[in-house]
Amino acid sequence: PKEYFLKDYKKPSYYCDTVELKFVLNEDKTHVYSKISVIRADNEASASSPLVLDGSDLKLISVDVNGKQLNEGDFYVDSCHLTLPSPPTGKFTLEIVTEIYPQDNVSLEGLYKSSGNFSTQCEAEGFRKITFFQDRPDIMAKYTVRVEADKTKYPVLLSNGNLIGQGDIEGGRHFAVWEDPIKKPSYLFALVAGRLESRDDTFVTRSGRKVTLRIYTPSEDLPKTTHAMHSLKAAMKWDEDVFGLEYDLDLYNIVAVPDFNMGAMENKSLNIFNSKLVLASPETATDADYAAILSVIGHEYFHNWTGNRVTCRDWFQLSLNEGLTVFRDQEFSSDMGSRTVKRIADVSKLRNYQYAEDSGPMAHPVKPHSYIKIETLCTVTVYEKGAEVVRMYKTLLGSQGFRKGMDLYFERHDGQAVTCEDFYAAMKDANNADFANFLLWYSQAGTPVVKATSSYDAEKHTFTLKFSQEVPPTPGQPVKEPMFIPVAMGLLDSHGNDMPLSLVSHDGKLETLTVGGQAVHTTVLRVTKKEEEFVFSEVSEKPVPSLLRGFSAPVRLESDLSDNDIFFLLAHDSDEFNRWEAGQILARKLMLSLVAHFQQNKPLLLNPKFVQGLKTILCDNTLDKEFIVKAMTLPGVGEMMDMMEVADPDAVHAVRTFIRKELALQLKTDFLRTVQENKSSEQYEFNHLNMARRALKNISLAYLASLEDPECTELALNEYKTASNMTDEFAALVAITQNPGKHHDQVLAHFYNKWKHDFLVVNKWFALQAMSDVPGNVENVMKLLDHPAFDLRNPNKVYSLIGGFCASPVNFHAKDGSGYKFLADLVLQLDKTNPQVTSRMVSAFSGWRRYDETRQKLAKAQLEMIMSTNGISANVFEIVSKSLA
């Protein structure tokens, strides 16, 4: 397969400003009539360029130029292009008719059928499966779309923009015509035809325009769309309040489909969503589902400006769209719930997944240099690290400065396809800012390691902080330059209060850091060199520094703080994120030392100070309950394995299990009391207070149930039976099923029987069993593949069962190689139908070099087996070849 390089980017030789499409949808075939107006770019290189259109899996029926059909020889077609060697010089009209077979399209890219309805997925390169087109984001055009289909089977016909015509035609058929007044790239095109109903609402924008909002689902699911509608309205309001961005059309449609490769897609005014991220009711969806819906509905809505109105020039710039939009959805969710807790959740995700990616064979910069299949670059690096990069601008510029940068970005680039550097320039120019070598965050892969040491001079009353930094080598980038790392920090006095800060600047002047005349207690240090020193003066006593507040940069920080200092921060830091972080630092240290004990067959013992620290937090009723939950949650398996020289899944699992049980044993009374105090018979409501209360009760229940004593088992069973919402019901199910045995089997069977009619709930049931750490679970998962409710063609089911299995450290990494073999066999099977989903699954292998020799051998053999199989997709090829490189 071909590899594409950023350095090879060339501007198009031809543009196209209008696209007229007609779809004649039928059961056995679909005809697509495309009429586009083409303009040759006004430069020398373009004068002699052929016009090359992308196309994939298309049957070409005819090509016309300016109304005249072309003969053979006037154009060439190969498996992925249609070429016109010498098109007319002036503006001309190109008409192309293609035939496609959506009913057979199991890749779920392009136009396909899901549960009997037609829908599309065009990002990144699905439009070329519909018609021949320059399928690249820097070709932006206005679209008019006519859809024709059987009226009974497909009463609803949708596309982007506004409905400008509809009516009946012969043979029981009907049509609709849609016009999108805003120009867009082809990847934002969408079409839906099906038997659907809608929940309708309106939103009045701040300038007084009335926007119709519609969420389409099959009629039986409509009652489950209230939360999605609420989320959409909240997102629209938030974008106006925080960024001054108003919705630009009169209609906003969302369609929920059950078969979808990803979470959702931001097609202009016609978002298509995985049902999982739309449908929710208290009985069937958990608080986590409600939160995910809020954030993804927000995310896709926010794309309307960041991604759609201003889009990326090419796919190497994907983070321009995604990093920025993830940042925006993170901020939205923060404002709707608790800022600290959201930040903790986002940082945990980064550490558990992105750090591993950044230190493995798939490591790539936020702006990658190359790819084979762009789909494989929809990664945690492009999305989540990309969001961290955007967050750093805000940390450096403050809210107002950041907003000024955003305003300038839209002022300069509305309607354009641009680059990450354009975004950088807008931030910089709007603020006259000095960003030093900040652009390295886009081009250098790898997580910087920052070391901080400090010293206090009691005579001079100065406090010196020294930083050194190192960016580890990554594939293709052996040597790195020092990065610009914003370190937000403060100093705590012996009472735990923040001290005023005055910094001796590099030119020797004393600068007191103030904001609006008030001394500030958090400042942002600009660490830009390999080694750098900062001196604070007038420091009246030896302080404890609180570094990287709010996780101000995506780095690994190592400091010389003593355990006592860290316990002190855990108790006193005014920065809540860093209070949590202090607990995590202690937990990580403890876990690593216990892992060593486990490996040396030494007895495991829990540090009483650690237990006491957690007990204090658990019993502190002044704290946000969700914060308590985060503090009581041990660092994840991924995060721990990422910190080890040789990842040892058995040891990490054993140690986590040991700590959980030991905490449960020692804090049993506190956990029991917490469960009782946080029960509630109130009707389910998704708001921060209620959600936090449920989470605290449920984490306590999970700890207790790990004890397997009759009292706690009884309690968990009772919680399961009396639960009145899915959050509590599923949490009790999880608590009970962490141990094998009679209750485990009975409750699982009960749950399935109760919910077998609801496929989204059944997916939870699959995932729960797939993730089980009970040794030998691979057999159970293999049986579940044959379960009548399972279907390899439905991505959600694959993610639940196969993805869930790969998340189990014990079973996926089983030392007999059974987990690896299971995944490899499945990959080959699944790749025949859905390469996109398969490449996500096969990524579970990419960390194979992090494990011991036996596991390495076993995993490598499976990777090589996949590699040597004829006909694997380019998606799988890319992941596997890079993993083996």
User: What's the closest the beta carbon of residue 324 comes to Zn ion, in angstroms?
Assistant: 9
Question: What is the three-class DSSP state of 624?
Answer: coil
Closest distance to ligand B3K from the beta carbon of 456 (Å): 47
Contacts of 260 (CB under 8 A, 6+ apart): 108, 114, 121, 272, 273, 274, 275, 795, 796
Q: In whole angstroms, how far apart are CA 325 and each of 318, 531, 559, 875?
A: 11, 33, 32, 25
> Considering CB distances under 5 to 8 angstroms, the limit depending on partner class, which of ligand B3K, Zn ion, none binds residue 743?
none
| One-letter amino acid for residue 636 of the chain | G
In the 8-state DSSP scheme, what is residue 347?
H
Q: Of the two residues 325 and 796, which places its CB atom closer to Zn ion in the complex? A: 325
* Beta carbon of residue 318, minimum distance to Zn ion (angstroms, whole number): 9
123 binds, among Zn ion, ligand B3K, none (CB under 5 to 8 A by kind): ligand B3K
Residues forming contacts to Zn ion in the complex (CB under 5 A) are 322, 325
Q: Shortest gap between Cβ of 98 and ligand B3K (angstroms)? A: 22
- Work out how close the CB of 264 gets to ligand B3K at its nearest, in angstroms, rounded to a whole number: 6
Using the minimum distance from each CB to Zn ion, give the nearer residue, 299 or 630. 299
Q: What is the DSSP string of 78-90?
A: -SSEEEESS--SS
Partner from ligand B3K, Zn ion, none contacting 694, C-beta within 5 to 8 A by type: none
- Whether cis (ω within 30° of 0) applies to the bond prior to 789 is no
Pick what 501 binds: ligand B3K, Zn ion, none; C-beta below 5 to 8 Å, kind-dependent.
Answer: none
- Tell the burial category of 9 from Cβ atoms under 10 Å away from its Cβ (0-12, 13-18, 19+): middle
> What is the residue whose two structure tokens read 């499409």?
21
Q: What angle do CA 505, 506, 510 make, to 5 degrees?
A: 25
**Rounded Cα gap, residues 854 and 427, in angstroms:** 50
265 binds, among ligand B3K, Zn ion, none (CB under 5 to 8 A by kind): ligand B3K
- Comparison of 315 and 577: residue with beta carbon closer to ligand B3K: 315
- Active-site residue, selected from the candidate residues 125, 300, 384, 581: 300
Nearer to Zn ion, 135 or 322 (CB): 322
Widest Cα–Cα separation across the chain: 95
Residues 139/185, Cβ–Cβ less than 8 Å: yes
Look at residue 124 and give the partner it binds from Zn ion, ligand B3K, none, a contact being a CB closer than 5 to 8 Å depending on partner kind: ligand B3K
CA–chain centroid gap for 571, Å, is 32
List of residues 6+ apart from 212 with CB closer than 8 A: 200, 201, 202, 250, 251, 252
What do you get for the CA distance between the two ends of the chain, in Å?
A: 16
Phi and psi (nearest 5°) for 391?
-60, -35
Residue 210: both structure tokens together: 């009335």
Q: What is the SS3 string spanning 537-584?
A: CCCCCCCEEEECCCCCCCCEEEECCCHHHHHHHHHHCCCHHHHHHHHH
**What's the min distance (Å) between Cβ of 880 and Zn ion?**
26
HEC per residue, 702-763? HHHHCCCCHHHHHHHHHHHHHCCCHHHHHHHHHHHHCCCCHHHHHHHHHHHHHHCCCHHHHH
Task: List for the chain the helix, strand, coil content (%; round to 5).
Answer: 45, 25, 35
Question: Residue 572 binds which one of Zn ion, ligand B3K, none, with CB within 5 to 8 A depending on kind?
Answer: none
CB of 187 to ligand B3K, least distance (A): 8
Residue 287 near which of ligand B3K, Zn ion, none (CB within 5-8 Å, type-dependent): none
Residues 202 and 213 sit within 8 Å (Cβ to Cβ): yes
Phi first, then psi, for residue 52 (nearest 5°) are -115, 120
350 and 414 in contact (C-beta within 8 Å)?
A: no
As given in the structure block, the two tokens for residue 568 are 């002190």
Q: Which tokens hold the place of 130?
A: 């519909």
Tokens 């994840």 correspond to: 636
- In the bound state with Zn ion, the residue whose beta carbon lies nearer, of 257 and 585, is 257
Q: Which amino acid is residue 839, in one-letter code?
A: S
* Least distance (Å) between residue 263 CB and ligand B3K: 6
CB 73 within 8 A of CB 95: no
The region that residue 70 occupies, defined by phi over 0 for left and psi between -120 and 50 for alpha, beta otherwise, is beta
Considering CB distances under 5 to 8 angstroms, the limit depending on partner class, which of Zn ion, ligand B3K, none binds residue 883? none
Q: Please, which residue, 303 or 572, has the CB nearer to Zn ion?
A: 303
Distance in Å, CB of 540 to ligand B3K, minimum: 50
- Distance in Å, CB of 299 to Zn ion, minimum: 5
What is the distance, to the nearest Å, from the Cα of residue 798 to the centroid of all Cα atoms in its chain? 18
**Which of Zn ion, ligand B3K, none does residue 378 bind (CB under 5 to 8 Å by kind)?**
ligand B3K
Q: In the bound complex, what is the minimum distance in angstroms from residue 324's beta carbon to ligand B3K?
A: 11
CB atoms within 10 A of CB 348: 18
For ligand B3K, give the closer residue by CB, 281 or 376.
Answer: 376
Three-state DSSP class for residue 447:
coil
Partner residues linked to 32 by β-bridges: 23, 98
Q: Which residues bind ligand B3K (CB under 6 A)?
A: 123-124, 262, 264-266, 299-300, 303, 322, 375, 378
**Alpha carbons 216 and 433: distance in angstroms, whole number:** 46
481 is catalytic: no
Residue count of the chain, please give it. 885
262 binds, among Zn ion, ligand B3K, none (CB under 5 to 8 A by kind): ligand B3K
Q: Name which of 277 and 801 has its Cβ closer to Zn ion.
A: 277
| Cα separation, 579 vs 602, whole angstroms | 31
Residue 301 CB coordination number (10 Å) = 27
| Residue 361 CB, nearest approach to ligand B3K (Å) | 21
Q: Which is nearer to Zn ion, 389 or 631 (CB)?
A: 389
The pairing of beta strand 251-257 with beta strand 210-217: parallel
Tell me whether residue 123 or residue 648 sits nearer to ligand B3K (CB atom).
123
Task: Give the shortest CB-108-to-ligand B3K separation in angstroms.
Answer: 11
* Residue whose CB is less far from ligand B3K, 19 or 265: 265
Q: Which does 342 bind (CB under 5 to 8 A by kind): Zn ion, ligand B3K, none?
A: none
Q: Which is nearer to Zn ion, 377 or 761 (CB)?
A: 377
Residue 189 or 812 with smaller CB distance to Zn ion:
189
Q: What phi, psi does 171 have (nearest 5°)?
A: 75, 30
DSSP tag of 80: S
394 binds, among Zn ion, ligand B3K, none (CB under 5 to 8 A by kind): none
Q: Catalytic positions, please?
A: 300
